[in-house]
């Protein structure tokens, strides 16, 4: 499950960077820190929007293609599934598979 988690982290960050680059958001600001903050905010919003679409489609029983498309735009068509546990060692093992 590590690869899906990595993809779902990296793809939204790249998408945020691309969206900022293509739209010119933040490019009038001279500060590199401000530019990075705008990119991270856009990437965070990108992730939230597509993750919400996934959840809503899943809960409402919507079309599978829409859930798959939202997941694909996050870098991996299915959200990672983790077994519920309170054991820290088990959580670490699950994160490595």
Tokens of 12: 């939204």
Radius of gyration of the chain (CA): 16
Q: Identify the pLDDT of residue 17.
A: 77
Q: Tell me the pLDDT tens digit for each residue of 58-89.
A: 889 989 999 899 888 888 887 767 666 667 77
Query: How far is the C-alpha of 60 from the C-alpha of 45, rounded, in Å?
Result: 22
How far from chain centre, in Å, is Cα 89? Answer: 26
Q: Identify the pLDDT of residue 65.
A: 92
Nearest to 15 by CA among 23, 5, 3: 23
Residue 19 neighbours by CB distance under 10 Å: 16
């Amino acid at each position: 499950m590590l690869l899906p988690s990595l993809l779902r982290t990296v793809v939204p960050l790249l998408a945020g960077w691309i969206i900022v680059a293509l739209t010119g958001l933040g490019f009038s600001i001279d500060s590199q820190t401000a530019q990075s903050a705008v990119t991270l905010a856009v990437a965070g919003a990108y992730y939230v929007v597509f993750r919400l679409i996934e959840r809503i489609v899943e809960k409402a029983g919507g079309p599978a293609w829409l859930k798959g498309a939202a997941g694909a735009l996050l870098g991996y068509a299915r959200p990672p599934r983790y077994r519920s546990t309170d054991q820290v060692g088990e959580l670490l093992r699950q994160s490595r598979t």
